[in-house]
Amino acid sequence: MIATMNDAEAIVANVKDADLQRIGNKMLNKERISFDDGVILFEKGSLAYLGALANYVREKKHGDKTYFNRNFHIEPTNVCVFSCKFCSYSRVYAHKEEGWELSIDQMMDIVKSYDGKPVTEVHIVGGVHPKMNLVFFTDLLKAIKAHRPELHIKGFTPVELDYMFRKAKVSVEEGMRITHEAGLDSLPGGGAEIFHPEIRKQICDDKVDAEGWLHIHKAAHELGMHSNATMLYGHIESFAHRIDHMDRLRTLQDETGGFNTFIPLKFRNKDNDMSHIAESTIVEDMKVYAVARLYLDNFPHIKAYWPMLGRKNAQLTLSFGVNDIDGTIDDTTKIYSMAGSEEQSPTMNTEQLVTLIKQVKRVPVERDTLYNEINVF
Ligand code: V47
Ligand code: SF4
């Protein structure tokens, strides 16, 4: 813990800048902060100030509890029709011999390799392969549910879903109903990047836009499904673009209440078309987590994705508003190792995750995807 409630009150009372004091008082009085307030926090907030406020909010909401889950990933393909400039992972369709594409049987072999193991979630996300269509994925979802009905399937970003639905010529609502009925339980947060068109045009011009992304999550929420949201930060975006991104999410959350978790994703610069851009500092990373905790007052959880940040930095986030560090993962994702993360083979067993959390004096809680508590350590 870096700050208790009294620490937060003291730090707000003593801050010299009038704007920061006004915003700090809003936080202490549980008032929502405005768009401009969010930008000011990035512009003027010191690491210590933002950390104290974010930790105050985190402890009000969750005390010391820090959630994790037991999950594994399936990445059906890294062949992709799109060409996001930050992506180190995809192989364009024209060079698909450099990529992988898994059959339903191969993916079921992965699922079966977890038989008898206490995983609660499979996370399915990958590139957009033109031959992997709605029928292919609904067959996959049905096969997983037939084999292990209680396994929660969190899968597909709006980038993949938008492409599937268009090719199948179904509306977003119809497509979400079909995938949900086939077994899709919730949506992960990917594909959001930075919503603002000024940035989206430069980093991922050809995939689903902000309105399309939000439409798909809204349709999922209307079916009673939950979902996550990410933000890819630390490249060419401004502070206002980050707040714009969070603001669009906060607005949809006011309407539907369907988001569980917000996950800031630090841009990693290895082997992609944006490698010339320096990665953000650890100070900036912590500020992003803290401002997210302060701005997204209607999001229950803020998650640090340890395979991307590294284990020690993930520990640090727990003092900057974060209350979830994702899952055991079991070396089943390549997205971050290919983009330059220090975690080249991301696996932690439950004991290691529990130790990581306990080392920084928080209480590890194993959860399922919907944050039902399974075990408090
Ligand atoms: O949308 C791609 C990101 C995302 C890079 O919902 C990169 O629980 C950094 O969304 N540097 C996919 N990031 C992963 C994702 C995710 C991960 C963990 C948990 C959840 C969840 C969702 O990965 C993409 C993109 O924003 N990404 N390349 C890169 N070079
Ligand atoms: Fe394709 Fe996703 Fe990579 Fe973009 S980030 S190129 S949509 S795999």
Dihedral (CA of 241, 247, 249, 252) sign: negative
**Which is nearest to 216 in space by CA: 203, 229, 205?**
229
Query: Mean pLDDT for each consecutive 10-residue tract of the chain (377 residues)?
Result: 68 96 96 98 98 97 96 94 92 70 97 95 95 97 98 98 98 98 98 98 97 98 98 98 98 98 96 95 97 98 91 95 87 57 70 93 96 96
Cβ(84) to ligand 2 under 6 A? yes
- Ligand 2 centroid to 336 CA: how many Å? 13
For ligand 1, atom 23, name the residue with the nearest CA.
190
**What is the model's pTM?**
0.95
Kind plus residue range of the DSSP H or E element containing 291: helix 282-295
Cβ(213) to ligand 2 under 6 A? no
SS3 of residue 301 by DSSP: strand
Spatial distance between the Cα atoms of 228 and 156, rounded to a whole number of angstroms: 11
Q: E strands along the chain, which residues?
A: 65-69, 71-74, 79-80, 91-92, 121-124, 152-155, 186-187, 226-233, 259-266, 301-302, 324-327, 363-367, 373-376
State how far the alpha carbon of 356 is from the alpha carbons of 73, 79, 233, 306, 345, in Å: 21, 35, 25, 11, 17
Q: Which domains does the chain have, with CATH numbers?
A: 5-62 (no CATH), 66-376 (3.20.20.70)
Closest-lying ligand to the alpha carbon of 273? 1
Spatial distance between the Cα atoms of 105 and 119, rounded to a whole number of angstroms: 20
Predicted pLDDT of residue 6:
67
Predicted pLDDT of residue 307:
84
SS3 of residue 76 by DSSP: coil
Asked whether the beta carbons of 246 and 290 are under 8 A apart, the reply is no
Judged on CB neighbours under 10 Å (0-12, 13-18, 19+), 145 is middle
284: number of Cβ within 10 Å: 14
Cβ(69) to ligand 1 under 6 A? no
